[in-house]
Amino acid sequence: MHAAKKIDAANKRDFYRELAAQLSALLAGEEDPIANAANAAALIYHSVPHLNWAGFYFLQSNDELVLGPFQGKPACVRIAVGRGVCGTAIERGSSILVEDVAAFPGHIACDTESRSELVVPLIHDGGIFGVLDLDSPLPARFDADDQKGMEELAAIYIANSSWED
What are the domain boundaries of the chain? 12-160
The rounded percent of the chain whose pLDDT value lies above 90 is 82
Chain centroid offset of residue 153 CA: 9
Superfamily of segment(s) 12-160: GAF domain (3.30.450.40)
In the prediction, which pLDDT does 8 show?
A: 67
Mean pLDDT, residues 110-136: 93
Check whether 111 has a pLDDT greater than 90: no
Average pLDDT over residues 109-114: 78
pLDDT for position 103: 86
Write down the mean pLDDT value for the chain: 92
Rounded distance between C-alpha atoms, residue 132 and residue 150, angstroms: 8
Identity of residue 67: L
For residue 44, which phi and psi values (nearest 5 degrees)?
A: -60, -50
pLDDT at 10 over 80: no
* Orientation of helix 12-27 relative to helix 144-160, angle to 10°: 10
For the chain, the DSSP string reads ---PPP---SSHHHHHHHHHHHHHHHHTT---HHHHHHHHHHHHHHHSTT-SEEEEEEEEETTEEEEEEEEES---SEEETTSHHHHHHHHHTS-EEES-GGGSTT---SSTT--EEEEEEEEETTEEEEEEEEEESSTT---HHHHHHHHHHHHHHHHHS----
Q: How does residue 105 score in pLDDT terms, banded at 50, 70 and 90?
A: confident
Per residue in 44-98, pLDDT tens? 999 999 999 999 999 999 999 999 999 999 999 999 999 999 999 999 999 999 9
Question: Structure pTM?
Answer: 0.93
Average pLDDT for residues 28-32, to the nearest whole number?
97
